[in-house]
Structure 1
Amino acid sequence: MGTDVLVIGGGNAALCAALMAAEAGASVTLLEAAPREWRGGNSGHTRNLRCMHDAPQDVLVDAYPEEEFWQDLLKVTGGITNEKLARLTIRASSTCRDWMRKHGVHFQPPLSGALHVARTNAFFMGGGKALVNAYYRSAEKLGVQIRYNAPVERLEIENGRFVAAWVGNERITAKTCVLAAGGFESNREWLRQAWGQNERGEWPADNFLIRGTRFNQGVLLKHMLAQGADPIGDATQAHMVAIDARAPLYDGGICTRIDCVSLGVVVNTEARRFYDEGEDFWPKRYAIWGRLVAQQPGQTAYSIIDSKAIGRFMPPVFEGVQAQTLPELAQKIGLDVDTFMQTLNDYNAACRPGTFDHTTLDDCHTEGVSPAKTHWARTIDTAPFYAYAVRPGVTFTYLGLETDETAAVRFGGVPSDNLFVAGEMMAGNVLGKGYTAGVGMSIGTAFGRIAGTQAARAALSGGAQ
């Protein structure tokens, strides 16, 4: 016979749903597409959770009130967000840590190199992999049946209600179901289709690297959209970061990030700057750079710094290209030396002296050069010089299923009474575009817990709410 609650997915949101449903007394089965050693989806690559708090709390310093969190989200999304669901996420982020600890998650004091993120984000001891492992251990203790290598290709849905899921030729029934199977970032064909061809005749998506799991193919998402589930979001919008061009195609994770952008200049393959490198603090702006680079020729750019920047950012895994002079650096990375030197000379001449402080929006800026650099603008003049080639790294896509405060999947505006959605499959409700560090885990935790609670309630009350 079937289970009370079927959870499809194996990352943070799916695990939160499974744990909440099991705590509510429901029998739960979790289907993870990946083998056990690759379980956890993108959550294994995370480090922290963005948390609202009105006063200092354990590992969080100062205060990060609801309104400031909301304004941060509003700024990065350009207003493309559902305020009701965003505020629900923000409020939930202030109360989830005790529950997380109960399920074996440990938090660590902030790292000194994390700048001011210690005020806004709580870091997991051992990172996302430790969090995922803790949740799996807790789920097993609570009796959740976990199946690996169990990708769901399709669902049986009747009149907006979940009936069964299919894994290969096996039909799995349940009273209620939670969808938390991630986006489609690992599906190259879908990315190509979404991004199309640019004016240079390139297919930008062919040069994208995937920061997270190879198992997020979007099979279930595509199936749900074909079944008439209400969509949310734009297929080209994603949490997309400029990462080391030498990163692996999948699962590079955090360590492939290049974090020196705000300390130097970024040029494209034509040796020209194309955006303000000092627009805002890096945790708020790092996730726009993947999209910016995706729009450049060859989807490649170069972060250029001098030795004054060394020690001020998280060092990359791979060493940068190093040279004693700027013309030599241009030659080594294959850029036109004359154009490169004109770009660097114009930038250096435009830098206005100020009091450099990488922990504040300082007064070091440029004048008379376009694009401007509004903060942390210092001349690049102290050898040795370094260049890091970057390409777009997709973390997760924002096209998903529209939902409401009950996490219900909607068909023609009508919420299902036994089919729910959480995590990356619905993050587009909150993230229309842009990203700010740790908010993906805030969304997954909030809606995973809501979806699990609602699914258990519907299952134990006989289906209808």
Structure 2
Amino acid sequence: MSSFDCIVIGSGNAGCCAALSSAEAGCDKVLIVDVCPDVWAGGNGYFTAGAFRTVHEGLHDLLPIVNNASKEKADSIDMDGYSGEDFLGDIMRLGNGKPDPVLAAAVVDASRDTISWLAHSVGLPFMFSFHRQAYSVGGRQKFWGGLVLCTEDGGKGLIAAHQRALAKAKVAVWFNCPAVQITMENGTVSGVVVEKEGQKLHLRAPAVVLAAGGFESNPVLRAQQLGLGWERAILRGTPYNQGDGFALAAAVGARQAGDWAGCHSTCWDADAPTDAGRRDLTNQFTKSGYPLGIMVNSAGKRFVDEGEDFRNYTYAKFGKAILLQPGGYAFQVWDSKVIGSLRKEEYGNGIVKKFLADRLEDLAEQLTEVGLEGKAEFVQTTKQFNEATRKFQAENPDATWNPAVKDGMSTQSSEYQLPLPKSNWALTIDEPPFMAVKVACGVTFTFGGLAVDPDTAGVISEKTSKVIPGLFCTGEMVGLFHENYPGGSGLMAGAVFGRKAGQAAAKLRA
């Protein structure tokens, strides 16, 4: 029987952080096991933009850890600080006050120190996210939405850096190796039973860290927990997050927490593969340009306030809004004034099927071939939007369109108001060529999870309300978020609780 100081179940960002933290804290023998083959290493982290949300004091605070800001570049950057109050407020505001404030504060309070650990101890290649979180305004790079950091080459770079760090720390990683049971002795974790090369092996360890992701890859569980219709959502990332980790936890009496009826779901290319993400394109199927235009459903009607808030505060919930529309799809629409501002990684030639026309009527005709049923309604919706936008501009001649701030450029004036406003970044859609793309709901990860101790990431027992000795949890399996979340906080939470779990696990080694 093999023995380890710590066994981590899951090879994503959170699991890697747990393994590396435990090794750094003194565990000599650390093992990661994952049900997936090695070509799927990294879980959903591989499919992200590699964005990490953190508390910081502004540009001067973060310059030492990024690799893409020379002194000349730094002199052209406008970056406000992001306080702990800001970060916690965003989690609670977007979650409608439902997240556990103590658990959320644990992420917020540890975020900046964890970023330093990831940069200097783990070796993550951080950079400023100019391509996703800044606009050029008056010749200056203006960051917005509280999110400024990402890893070089996105999720691919994130997982590659983790794998280099695991090799350096001599952490063993077994792929094609599902964990099928957590073993207990006298109420304390004693190890894990895994299936390896067709045989069941009992691996002993005083500490086990659950980092196996949510249940978003399982259409049956999605329908059961999230509701009917969610089985039709497009899976953005790994196909291996089937909810197995929760079955392991339930068998040893773990308490559930978080929003089991909620998930992170976003605007996704309607033509993307449905059952798993593509590892070559990863996050490029995201279609996040809706704040610069409008979205209409198959009936030709708008259904969300595209300018309600910055994109990284709305994208995780707008996928659900699309799924609830007739047919479960929608169309994003822009004109020539903003087409050049759309991210080429998401909307470039060869990345997405684009529909272009010089007349709205002709664009509508093209869209009928891919599901637009309300052709006349689409044209009327766009013209009403234009009328409302013009009347606002006439009433507010000094208002200036600025995508880097919540500019208040809306469809609502004293003379004319749309029943569903666009609250910011409203520009008329009247200068050809017009462009549209078809989008659907892409499900990223589920919010339902386990209750954990905020200091150690120890899993709470349903029966005793105390930590189950030796059992820890991190990543998507922690029940932190409700209804919505601020972009970049998922990877951050996984790193924070992974680090805490590894440190606590090291204290249990023999």
Distance in 1, matches of 2:361 and 2:232, equals: 27
Q: After TM superposition, list the pairs within 5 Å mapping 1:62-461 onto structure 2.
A: 62-101=80-119, 102-111=121-130, 114-115=133-134, 116-117=143-144, 120-157=147-184, 160-168=187-195, 169-197=200-228, 204-249=229-274, 250-252=276-278, 253-315=282-344, 316=347, 317-334=351-368, 335=372, 336-351=374-389, 352-353=392-393, 354-367=399-412, 368-405=417-454, 406-412=456-462, 413-426=465-478, 428-429=479-480, 431-460=481-510
Deviation at 1:330, TM superposition (A): 1.6
Q: 1:225 & 1:121 partners in 2: Cα distance?
A: 37
Counterpart in 2 of 1:3? 4
Distance 1:50 1:187, change over 3 A: same
Conserved? CA contact 1:302–1:390, under 8 Å: yes
Give 1:226 deviation, angstroms.
Answer: 4.8
Q: Which amino acid aligns with 2:360?
A: L
State the alpha-carbon separation in 1 of the partners of residues 226 and 201 from structure 2: 35
Deviates more, 1:435-444 or 1:144-153: 144-153
CA contact (8 A) 2:133 2:148 kept: no
- Partner of 1:12 in structure 2? 13
CA contact (8 A) 1:52 1:120 kept: no
In structure 2, distance between residues paired with 1:62 and 1:376: 21
Offset, 1:162: 2.0
Question: Runs of 5+ in structure 1 lacking a partner?
Answer: 198-203, 461-465
Give the number of aligned pairs.
452
**1:97-137 alpha-carbon deviations (Å, 9 max, x no partner):** 33222222111244255222596331212222222222222
Question: What does the per-residue CA deviation read over 1:37-59, in whole Å, with 9 as the maximum and x for residues that have no partner?
Answer: 21010111222211101343234
1:50 pairs, out of 44, 49, 53, with: 53
SS of 2:207 mapped into structure 1: strand
Q: 1:183 to 1:322 in 2, by over 3 A?
A: same
Change (3 A) 1:418 1:380: same
* 2:177 maps to amino acid: A
- Measured at CA, do residues 97 and 323 of structure 1 come closer, stay the same or move farther in structure 2, by a change above 3 Å? same
SS of 1:189's partner is helix
- Correspondence for 2:396: none
Structure 2 SS opposite 1:398? strand
Closer/same/farther in 2, CA of residues 298 and 236 from structure 1, 3 Å limit: farther
Tell me if structure 2 keeps the 8 A contact 1:117–1:283: no
Matched to 1:37, the amino acid is V
1:355 partner SS: coil
Q: Are the aligned partners of 1:238 and 1:397 in contact in 2 as well (CA < 8 Å)? A: yes
Residue 55 of structure 2 corresponds to residue 41 of structure 1: no
Checking the alignment, whether the CA contact within 8 Å between 2:55 and 2:82 is kept in structure 1 is yes
Aligned residue number for residue 200 of structure 1: none
For 1:264 and 1:171, the matched residues in 2 are separated by: 56
**Structure 2 CA distance, aligned partners of 1:432 and 1:392?**
18
> By how many angstroms is 1:235 displaced?
2.6
Distance 2:402 2:492 in 1: 30
Say which is worse superposed, 404-413 or 60-69, in terms of deviation.
60-69
Return the letter of the residue paired with 1:138: A
Contact 2:317–2:483 (CA under 8 A) maintained in structure 1: no
Whether the aligned pair in 1 keeps the contact of 2:144 and 2:404 (CA below 8 Å) is no
In the aligned structure 1, how far is the partner of 2:357 from the partner of 2:231? 30
SS of corresponding position for 1:302? strand
Q: Structure 1 vs Structure 2: percent identity of aligned residues?
A: 34
Distance in 2 between residues matched to 1:172 and 1:4, nearest whole Å: 10
Partner AA of 2:238 in structure 1 = T
* Cα separation, 1, equivalents of 2:508 and 2:43: 27
- Quick one: which amino acid aligns to residue 172 of structure 1? L
Considering only aligned residues, what root-mean-square deviation do their CA atoms show, in Å?
A: 1.8
Q: CA offsets, 1:69-101, max 9 Å, x none? A: 112222211112111121111121111233222
The alignment partner of 1:458 has SS state of coil
Displacement of 1:156 in angstroms is 2.6
